[in-house]
Amino acid sequence: MSCGVPQGSVLGPLLWNIGYDWVLRGAFLDGVAVVCYADDTLVTARGKTHHEATLRATAGVAQVVERIRRLGLEVALHKSEALFFHGLRRKPPEGSSLTVGGIRIGIEPSIRYLGLVLDGRWDFGYHFRGLVPKLVGAARALARLLPNMKGPDDSCRGLYSGVVRSMALYGCPVWAGALKASNVAILRRPQRMLAIRIIRGYRTISFEAASLLAGTPPWDLEARALAALYQWRKEAQELGRCPEIREIDDRKSQLRQVIIGEWRERLGQPSAGHAVIAAVRPVMEDWLERRHGTLSYRLTQVITGKGCFGDHLCLIRKEPTPECHHCDGQTVDTALHTLAECPAWVEQRRDLVAAIGVGVLSLDSLIAAIVRSESAWNSAVSFCEQVMLPQKQAGVAASALRSALASREHREHGVPTRGGGRLLVCR
Ligand SMILES: [Zn+2]
Ligand 1 centroid distance, CA of 309 (Å):
10
Cβ neighbors of 377 (< 8 A, separation 6 or more) are 292, 293, 370, 371
CB 401 within 8 A of CB 320: no
Ligand 1 centroid distance, CA of 400 (Å):
19
Phi (first) and psi of residue 254, to 5 degrees: -60, -45
Strand 97-100 with 103-108, pairing: antiparallel
Letter for the amino acid at 151? G
In whole angstroms, what is the distance from residue 383 CA to residue 377 CA? 10
Predicted pLDDT at 399:
65
DSSP 105: E
CB 5 within 8 A of CB 12: yes
Half-sphere exposure of 88 (CA within 13 A, CB side): 0
- ∠ CA 261-267-269, rounded to 5°: 125
Predicted pLDDT at 418:
44
Ligand 1 centroid distance, CA of 322 (Å):
11
Ligand 1 centroid distance, CA of 325 (Å):
6
Predicted pLDDT at 174:
94
pTM, two decimals, is 0.82
Average pLDDT by consecutive 10-residue portion of the chain (427 residues)? 74 83 82 85 89 90 89 84 84 82 87 90 90 91 85 85 93 91 90 93 94 95 96 94 93 96 95 94 95 92 90 85 83 90 91 90 94 94 89 67 66 52 40
Query: What three-state secondary structure class fits 1?
Result: coil
Ligand 1 centroid distance, CA of 407 (Å):
27
Predicted pLDDT at 1:
57
142 closest CA partner among 169, 117, 165, 114: 165
In whole angstroms, what is the distance from residue 387 CA to residue 329 CA? 19
Ligand 1 centroid distance, CA of 424 (Å):
18
Ligand 1 centroid distance, CA of 356 (Å):
22
Ligand 1 centroid distance, CA of 326 (Å):
5
Within 10 angstroms of residue 8's Cβ, the number of other Cβ atoms is 7
Ligand 1 centroid distance, CA of 398 (Å):
14
CB 179 within 8 A of CB 186: no
Sheet with 82-83, strands from edge to edge, namely 82-83, 103-108, 97-100
In whole angstroms, what is the distance from residue 131 CA to residue 185 CA? 12
Cα–Cα distances in angstroms (integers) from residue 390 to residues 75, 113, 240, in the given order: 71, 57, 66
Predicted pLDDT at 405:
64
Predicted pLDDT at 299:
94
Ligand 1 centroid distance, CA of 423 (Å):
21
Predicted pLDDT at 277:
96
Ligand 1 centroid distance, CA of 359 (Å):
21
Ligand 1 centroid distance, CA of 311 (Å):
12
Neighbours of ion ligand 1 (CB under 5 A): 324, 326-327, 342
Predicted pLDDT at 256:
96
